[in-house]
Homo-oligomer: A and B are copies of this chain.
Amino acid sequence: MTLVGKKFPSLDVNAMNEMGDTFKINVLEEAVNNNKKVLLFWYPKDFTFVCPTELHAFQAALGEFENRNTVVIGASCDTAEVHFAWLNTAKDNGGIEGVTYPLLADSNRNLSSILGILDITNEVYDEATDSVQVEGDNVTYRATYLIDEEGTVFHEGINHMPVGRNVNEYIRLIDAYTHVQEKGEVCPANWEEGKEA
């Protein structure tokens, strides 16, 4: 069942930033305690090729998000150590050097399991080993969540592995939702801030 219209799950998750600090982030509290919107985006794996372009694109638009009172958080199921290695790899070498927003390291899949965005296509009981084995790498699809200042999800979108995201679309969605918050009006299709609703 969709998370839209509900509170984002309250959960502490390991995180890493470009300083090499390891810390915990609770996405819900990030929104509510700081009275900010949050854009949380998941990508499948560190050290792959489509992913860094997305991370760089969100970095490039970071000012736009800040102007809209919005925090950006990236996330994958890799460990904090791997995040740090990637943060220290130059963009030319497929790295994400220069990214300054934090990255969740959901290696125990606590959060991604609740969100239901792991690429597990099947679970089978294996009698020989008396265990349940999963099919898939147990990493996430490209899922994106927009969360308002009260922690309520107002957009969730999930792309299949090979299809990258459009950063401008999220800016449009944030603007539209902010418009509703401020004006109490609904935003019709193709609405954009500054254009007539």
Contact = CB atoms under 8 A, between A and B. Distances in A.
Interface string A137-150: 11101010000000
A129 B9 contact: yes
Contacts of A57: 188-190
A126 B86 CA distance: 32
B138 A2 contact: no
Interface residues of A, number: 83
Nearest to A176: B163
Interface stretch (A30-38, A63-71, A73-81): A73-81
Nearest to A105: B137
Give this chain's copy count: 10
Contacts of A114: 129, 131
Contacts of A110: 131, 133-134
Nearest to A136: B108
Contacts of A53: 188-190
Nearest to A144: B157
A160 B185 CA distance: 13
A109 interface: yes
A5 B140 CA distance: 11
A24 interface: no
Contact of A190 (B120, B168, B186, B187): B168
A158 interface: yes
A186 to B, nearest CB: 4
Given A137-B14, A160-B154, A2 B190 contact: no
Interface of A: 1-2, 4-6, 9-11, 14, 45-50, 53-54, 56-58, 77-79, 81-82, 84-86, 89, 107-110, 113-114, 116-121, 126, 128-129, 131, 133-134, 136-139, 141, 143, 152-169, 172-173, 176-177, 180, 185-191
Can you list the 5 inter-chain pairs with the closest CB atoms, starting with the nearest?
A: A53-B188, A157-B157, A108-B138, A57-B189, A1-B116
